[in-house]
Each structure stands twice: as C-alpha cells, then as structure tokens.
C-alpha cells in the first residue's frame, strides 16, 4: 500500500490520540511526526471527508467567540475497529526515497559544485528540522505508555538525523576536495 493509501490510518491514529481538528492533525505531523511521516493539508481534508462518508469518523461544528467555527472530529466504533485491524498487521519497512541522493548521483554532468550545493541544502534542512522538533516534548501524551512510544519515535529521529548530518559533513569534505582552486560559490 502506498504512503498516500496509509494516510487514512495516520489520520485515524491521530484522532485516536486526541487530535480533533484538521489543523491539530497537520500541526502534529509537522512538529512531531515529520521525521517519519508527512501530510499536506491537500491530503488531510479529503481523507477526513472520506472517513466521515464511510462512517469511520464523525464531526461536530464548534462555534468559537470571535473566531471562525471549526470541525471537531472523533472516531466512531467502525473507525476504532479499522485502526485496530491495521495496527495488528505486520508493518512493512519501506525504503526511504531521498531526492538529494538522486541529484547527487546524477549531478556530475551539470558541472562542479552542484552536488555540494544539494548536500549543503540537505544539511541546512536537517538542522532546521532539529530546531523545529525541540518543542516536540511538550506534545507528549500524558499516559506513561503513550509517552514511552512517543519518546521512541523522537529517538529514532535523533539517530537518523545524527547519521545524516555525519554523512553530510563527510560528503561535503569529499565534494569540496576537487573544487579547491575554483570559485567559493558551489553553484558557479
């Protein structure tokens, strides 16, 4: 099943965690899950509507003083059962797709420095991702078992980022070596 096909389970799971609005779900994916799962608003709202039409979630419109109303979702019994059935299935490891590695592999024909520029951009985005996730601990579930699982996903992100940053540093050193004597701007 494709990642987009699994969006429904990500949405069911987040509602099961107590995230009640599309905005809450999107913010949680950005702040907590971005190291292993990403969703766009363009994916979330159609999935929420589909889950509701299938009877997996329901919503109520919540009126707020001085602010626009919002849709507050909750799982139905059918939604809980579908989520549980999916959770019982064996998880398949999916090879990560890294566009930066494709571009690095094929960049030789485009002149010196292009691969280095892509690695520098990746390193910057990893540093920014780490910065954004610093407040993620505040989003930890209150129950001890949920908090434990939450911490494990964050630890995974830390280790993957650490490995990727190490690789970036090694790749930058190797890619800079042949550029000695060329202009400092890797795009030139």
Torsion angle defined by CA atoms of residues 105, 92, 28 and 79, in that order, rounded to the nearest 10 degrees: 150
Name the residue range of residue 51's domain.
Answer: 4-88
Q: Which tens digits make up the pLDDT trace of 47-69? A: 999 999 999 999 999 999 999 99
**pLDDT band for position 188 (cuts 50, 70, 90):** very low
Cα 37 from chain centroid (whole Å) = 3
DSSP annotation of 184 reads S
Answer whether residue 187 shows pLDDT above 50: no
In 3D space, the residue among 130, 131, 137 whose CA is nearest the CA of residue 158 turns out to be: 130
Q: What is the pLDDT of residue 144?
A: 87
Residue 94 located in a structural domain = no
| Residue 72 DSSP symbol | E
Domain limit, last residue, from 88, 120, 155: 88
Residue 56 lies in a domain: yes
Among 88, 122, 148, identify where a domain stops: 88
Please, are residues 35 and 164 in contact by the beta-carbon 8 Å criterion?
Answer: no
**pLDDT recorded at residue 42:** 85
Residue 62: which CATH number? 1.10.10.10
Q: For residue 142, tell me if it sits in a domain.
A: yes
Looking at the domain assignment, is residue 160 inside a domain? Answer: yes
Residues with Cβ within 8 Å of residue 101, at least 6 apart in sequence: none
pLDDT tens profile 124-161: 999 988 887 776 666 777 788 888 988 898 888 889 99
Domain presence at residue 187? no
Number of domains in the chain: 2
- pTM score of the predicted model: 0.71
Q: Do residues 9 and 81 share a domain?
A: yes
Judged against a pLDDT cut of 70, whether residue 29 lies above it is answered with yes
Closest CA to 33 of 188, 125, 154, 179: 154
């Amino acid at each position: 099943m494709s990642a987009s096909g699994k969006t429904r389970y990500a949405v069911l799971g987040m509602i099961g965690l107590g995230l009640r609005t599309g905005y809450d779900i999107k913010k949680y994916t950005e702040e907590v899950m971005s190291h292993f799962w990403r969703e766009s608003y363009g994916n979330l709202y159609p999935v929420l509507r589909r889950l509701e039409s299938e009877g997996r979630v329901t919503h109520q419109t919540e009126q707020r003083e001085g602010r626009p109303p919002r849709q507050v979702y909750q799982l139905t019994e059918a939604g809980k059962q579908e989520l549980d059935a999916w959770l019982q299935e064996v998880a398949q490891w999916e090879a990560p797709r890294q566009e930066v590695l494709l571009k690095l592999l094929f960049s030789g024909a485009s002149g010196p420095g292009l691969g280095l520029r892509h690695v520098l951009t990746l390193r910057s985005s990893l540093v920014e991702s780490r910065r954004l996730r610093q407040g993620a601990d505040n989003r930890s579930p209150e129950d001890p078992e949920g908090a434990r699982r939450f911490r494990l996903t964050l630890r995974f992100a830390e280790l993957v980022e650490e490995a990727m940053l190490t690789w970036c540093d090694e790749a930058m050193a190797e890619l800079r070596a042949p550029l000695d004597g060329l202009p400092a701007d890797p795009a030139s």
